């Protein structure tokens, strides 16, 4: 079997918040008629530079056409040379590598007639407990809208929430107070996510203020790559501390500094199944837990995240992939399913990812390429519309 072609289809889909995100659906075709599907998820992040989609498609074709799609390790090595780690967790190169890696695994599974779970060694669970994100309140006017989100999502079965915090602590506390008074023990706040916006001392002050509301853990409470600050924060709080993994050098440094309790691993931020499994193994060897992170993928990318999480033996915290619930549309013929706050792993009897694309939806949502227009920095950080 040989790869004969590669195509990138970019779709633009709004979130319920009003922010519009762009994703690339990856198709890798072969001479035996098997096509693998992947997703380069949610390119709408800072930094605001982009890639030319047609140039990227041409570059990937030159790299992949003629190769054996089962040579995934070799392809990933070459992709790492083309799109290297930069120690930045919104690095577009990892998004690109991730989309190709997922498509190759989907292709291999379909060619063999097995689910990707079988390629990765099987499953230890068929569902993942997940949390719904509450986006950062920059003004007090946004508090009630965020409480309304909790009301609506709790009615759908989501009883755990992750709060993006730190820019306006008064608004954060007002939200937590309102949620505690109205919902009590029916709602859990999984984490305060500071998104590297505060230095560790500032994050510590806010955490001490908000922790009494029953927060389970704290995420990204220091500026990017400040491993000493991250450790200082961890030593000063009783709550577990989590941080994203966006490069192996960065993960090595976090282990060396003993700076975290839980590694937040998302396929999109580390470059696909192969890289994510290495990161999870490194975490396990270091005695650390894992949670499955997210950039808020569509159903293709979310299915990949679910399959990855299904095979982990050190998944110790509630995870984050709820992307399909955030968007007003999807390109999947049947989107991934959520029940009672759990993400269901795609049926193990379905080959590859277990997700099919509705190409009529792709045609309706298609755009020429990636563009961010005049959206402000704060909107790109939080992927929310202006208030």
* Residues labelled as active-site residues: 90, 164
Rounded Cα distance between 164 and 145, Å, is: 14
> What is the rounded CA–CA span in Å between residue 293 and residue 203?
20
Whether 311 and 122 have beta carbons less than 8 Å apart is answered as yes
Give burial (CB, 10 Å; 0-12/13-18/19+) of 349. Answer: exposed
Burial of 123 (0-12, 13-18, 19+ CB in 10 A): middle
Beta-ladder partners of 342: 129, 339
Q: Is 52 exposed, middle or buried (0-12, 13-18, 19+ CB in 10 A)?
A: exposed
**The two structure tokens encoding residue 366:** 């298609």
Structure tokens at 367: 């755009």
Report the candidate in 277, 251, 266 with the shortest Cα–Cα distance to residue 95. 266
User: Is the Cβ–Cβ distance between 38 and 26 less than 8 Å?
Assistant: yes
Whole-angstrom distance between the N-terminal and C-terminal Cα of the chain?
52
Q: Are 106 and 357 in contact (CB under 8 A)?
A: no
Cβ-Cβ contacts under 8 Å for 53 (sequence gap 6 or more): 8, 10, 24, 368, 369, 370
- C-alpha count within 13 angstroms, C-beta hemisphere, residue 326: 28
Beta bridge partner(s), residue 24: 10, 40
d(CA 4, CA 64): 8
Compute the distance between CA of residue 106 and CA of residue 308 in angstroms, rounded to an integer. 13
């Amino acid at each position: 079997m040989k790869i004969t072609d590669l195509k990138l289809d970019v779709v633009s889909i709004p979130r319920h918040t009003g922010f519009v995100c762009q994703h690339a659906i990856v198709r890798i075709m072969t001479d035996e008629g098997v096509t693998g599907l992947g997703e380069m998820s949610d390119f709408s992040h800072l930094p605001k530079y982009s890639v030319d989609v047609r140039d990227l498609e041409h570059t990937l074709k030159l790299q992949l056409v003629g190769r054996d799609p089962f040579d995934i390790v070799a392809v990933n090595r070459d992709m790492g040379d083309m799109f290297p780690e930069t120690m930045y967790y919104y690095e577009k190169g990892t998004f690109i590598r991730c989309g190709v890696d997922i498509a190759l695994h989907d292709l291999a599974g379909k060619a063999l007639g097995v689910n990707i779970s079988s390629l990765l060694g099987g499953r230890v669970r068929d569902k993942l407990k997940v949390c719904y994100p509450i986006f950062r309140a920059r003004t007090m006017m946004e508090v009630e809208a965020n409480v309304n989100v909790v009301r609506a999502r709790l009615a759908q079965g989501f009883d755990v929430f992750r709060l993006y915090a730190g820019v306006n602590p008064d608004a954060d506390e007002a939200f937590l107070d309102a949620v505690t008074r109205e919902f009590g023990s029916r709602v859990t706040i999984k984490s305060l996510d500071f998104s590297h916006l505060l230095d560790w001392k500032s994050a510590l002050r806010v955490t001490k203020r908000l922790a009494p509301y029953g927060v389970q853990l704290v995420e990204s409470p220091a500026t990017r790559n400040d491993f000493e600050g991250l450790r200082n924060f961890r030593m000063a709080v009783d709550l577990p501390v989590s941080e994203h993994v966006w490069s192996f050098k960065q993960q090595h440094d976090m282990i060396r500094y003993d700076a975290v309790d839980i590694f937040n691993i998302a396929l999109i931020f580390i470059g696909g199944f192969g890289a994510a499994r290495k990161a999870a193994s490194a975490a396990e060897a270091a005695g650390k837990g894992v949670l499955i992170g997210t950039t808020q993928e569509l159903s293709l990318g979310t299915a990949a995240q679910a399959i990855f999480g299904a095979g982990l033996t050190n998944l110790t915290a509630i995870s984050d992939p709820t992307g399909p619930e955030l968007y007003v549309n999807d390109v999947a013929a049947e989107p991934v399913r959520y029940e009672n706050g759990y993400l269901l792993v795609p049926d193990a009897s379905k080959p590859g990812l277990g997700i099919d694309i509705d190409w009529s939806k792709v045609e309706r949502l298609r755009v020429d390429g990636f563009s961010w227009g005049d959206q402000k920095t704060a909107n790109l950080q939080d992927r929310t519309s202006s208030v």
